[in-house]
Amino acid sequence: MARTLSAGRRLNVTLVYAALIILSVVFFSPFVWLVMTSLKPEAEVFTTILPRHWVLTQYKDGLTHFPFMLYLRNTMVLCTANVVGVLLSSSLVAYGLSRIPWKGREPLFAVLLSTMMLPAQVTMVPMFAVFKTLGWIDTLLPLTVPAFLGNAFFIFLLRQFFMTIPGDLTDAARLDGCSEFDIYRRVVMPLAKPALATVALFTFLATWNDFIGPLVYLYDEGKFPLSLGLAMFTSQYGSFWGQLMAVSTVMTAPILLLFFLTQRTFIQGITMSGIKG
């Protein structure tokens, strides 16, 4: 009987791994096609699956047709500002909602969660009107300042993680005379590195891929990030498919590399926050 159960368990594990491998191949194949196409001469783009002649000229030509380094610098400025802003603001609010007891905390948290049900399209016009009144249009401020005002989803994620930290640690710190800010900075934040890394990764990915925000608020091409610069490249050089695939590969590769390097921390942060599914 035990041998039968063991064989059945091995079969289930084998089927699960086989399904995961098949799904991985399916989802990863577009990126492989992207890279293969970027290494083909223009004449072979639609005639062969694998390059007959491996070339790198598509990268050289594609990256010199538009100011790639300028757009990359703008993108990194936006990503850095947003990651720092979200980590600071969301962690402070999450600490107040999880570790400090005060009247009205739970109703306010419920109101905060309800804001997650508002689509971004609903608030786009009012936010544009506010930023226009402030004179921030065609600057990077509308794309960075909101990050310093907190994010409902990240506050929720960090709050769930902070609630898993034993209360005895913070109580002992209070008995030693630590202020709430000292507890937040010296006790809670060092223990929350997996959750903070998850928030940072989510924010970096969202900012790197953001297209609507720069499209709405930026007019000066010298301030465009890579997402908007790639769209301009597509409109101007869309007929040069090899170059388009080369530029797309350069923009996509860092995201995949970042995820593979941080996937263990990312999964740990999601798991320990108590979020399922």
The answer to whether residues 171 and 67 belong to one domain is yes
Angstrom distance (rounded) from CA 177 to CA 23: 54
51 domain residue, yes or no: yes
Q: Which of 9-13, 136-140, 179-183, 249-253 has the highest average model confidence (pLDDT)?
A: 136-140
Give residue for tokens 């301009």. Answer: 232
Q: What is the pLDDT of residue 1?
A: 47
The answer to whether residues 145 and 72 belong to one domain is yes
The answer to whether residues 93 and 214 belong to one domain is yes
266 CB neighbour count, 10 Å cutoff: 18
Q: Is the pLDDT of residue 24 over 90?
A: no
Residues in the chain: 277
Q: Is the pLDDT of residue 263 over 90?
A: no
Q: In this predicted model, what pLDDT tens digit does every residue of 80-98 receive, in sequence order?
A: 999 999 999 999 999 999 8
DSSP the chain: -HHHHHHHHHHHHHHHHHHHHHHHHHHHHHHHHHHHHHTS-GGGTTT-SS-SS---HHHHHHHHTTTHHHHHHHHHHHHHHHHHHHHHHHHHHHHHHHTS--TTHHHHHHHHHHGGGS-HHHHHHHHHHHHHHHT-TTSSHHHHGGGGG--HHHHHHHHHHHTTS-HHHHHHHHHTT--HHHHIIIIIHHHTHHHHHHHHHHHHHHHHH--HHHHHH---GGG--HHHHHHHHHHHHTT-HHHHHHHHHHHHHHHHHHHHHHHHHHHHHHHHTT---
End-to-end CA distance of the chain: 34
The CATH number for 70's domain is 1.10.3720.10
Q: Is the pLDDT of residue 4 over 60?
A: no
The answer to whether residues 198 and 238 belong to one domain is yes
Distance of CA 214 to the CA centre of its chain: 16
Q: Containing domain of residue 72, as a range? A: 62-272
Total tally of structural domains belonging to the chain = 2
The answer to whether residues 129 and 247 belong to one domain is yes
* Mean pLDDT, range 73-86, rounded to an integer: 95
- C-beta separation of 38 from 245 below 8 A: yes
277 domain residue, yes or no: no
The answer to whether residues 18 and 106 belong to one domain is no
The answer to whether residues 155 and 23 belong to one domain is no
Q: What is the pLDDT of residue 3?
A: 54
Q: Is the pLDDT of residue 194 over 50?
A: yes
Angstrom distance (rounded) from CA 11 to CA 34: 35
Q: What is the pLDDT of residue 76?
A: 94
Q: What is the pLDDT of residue 89?
A: 94
pTM over the 0.85 mark: no
